A and B are shown apart, each in its own frame.
Chain A
Amino acid sequence: MTVPAAYHLGLSAVLFSLGMVGVLVRRSALVVFMSIELMLNAVNLTLVTFSRVHAAVDGQVLVFFILVVAATEVVIGLAIIVDIFRSRDTVDVDDVDLLRG
């Protein structure tokens, strides 16, 4: 345990920012989804780090719940993407603008 906690947290911060840039820049709904997964993983790393810093296991339990929600979210989201692809023949988030005013 020679690496300070700040390094783990810094890695997590950079990964979260990368995910955010991915959501802002990419147009393929699939890649936007993967960027969201990247952000969820960054948060998980933060939780695990603080769980170790405080020597309490609660953070790891929270990671477990985040995993459950992430799995559900991916299943539902990919089903929606497949449905959009079936009806519009595209997964480009800029082309799916039916609600644009």
Chain B
Amino acid sequence: MPAALFGLVACLALAGGVGVIVSRRPVHSALALLIVLGSLAVDYLLLDAQFVAVLQVIIYAGAIVVLFVFVIMLLGARSGEGPKIGAMLPVPLAVLLGALFGAGLIAAVANAPRAWPPVAQGFGTVQQVGRALFSTFLLPFEAASLVLLIGLIGAVALGKRLPPIPPGPSPAVSREQVASGRAPR
């Protein structure tokens, strides 16, 4: 039963991963990313990591993907790519490089231990992860709150519209304003 579930989850995750990088529209990429995140949450459950699985659903699927969808909605239809072909690398070369890299990674993990050690009842629950978080990892935990605060302030600062520049005789500034679409209204 776990094997069948893992097979299903792995197929879904791989299909979603391919969907993220081949979809023409960003919304489809976001939905494919959602499929990947959901199937990985199930995989975490298979690996006795309940807390991480719940976090995955709440934070990734619930917050990050919604943020992506909001930004796609904000930017409208122009958030996609035009027909211009001009990636940094030619696509076949990039796919070849990716395949080589993936083969190397798989070769590196191929002889991982096959046996699973027994774990105590309650491994990976909120209780146990929380105990580690608030004892051994207390300092990084507090630092994480600082990271979140800085991210919050940074997002507000970046999202704020600049005050309109008063009209002046400087042609450089006005050309910049026209180019940037920030001409005072």
A interface residues with partner B (beta carbon < 8 Å): 1-22, 24-28, 30-31, 33-35, 37-38, 41, 44-45, 48-49, 51-55, 57-58, 60-61, 63-65, 67-76, 78-83, 85-92, 94
In the A-B complex, the 9 residue pairs with the closest CB atoms: A17-B102, A72-B151, A13-B105, A22-B21, A9-B109, A21-B98, A79-B158, A18-B17, A24-B94
Taking residues whose C-beta sits less than 8 angstroms from the other chain, chain B's interface range is: 35 or more
Between A and B, how many residue pairs show CB distances below 8 Å? 262
Contact status A38-B71, CB under 8 Å: no
Interface string of B33-47 (1 = CB under 8 A from A): 100110010011011
**B contact set with A: CB distance below 8 Å:** 2-3, 6, 10, 13-14, 17-18, 20-21, 23, 26, 29-30, 33, 36-37, 40, 43-44, 46-49, 51-52, 55-56, 59-60, 63-64, 67-68, 71-72, 74-75, 78-82, 84, 86-89, 91, 94-95, 97-99, 101-102, 105-106, 108-114, 116-119, 123-124, 128-129, 132-133, 136-137, 140, 144, 147-148, 150-152, 154-155, 158-159, 180-182
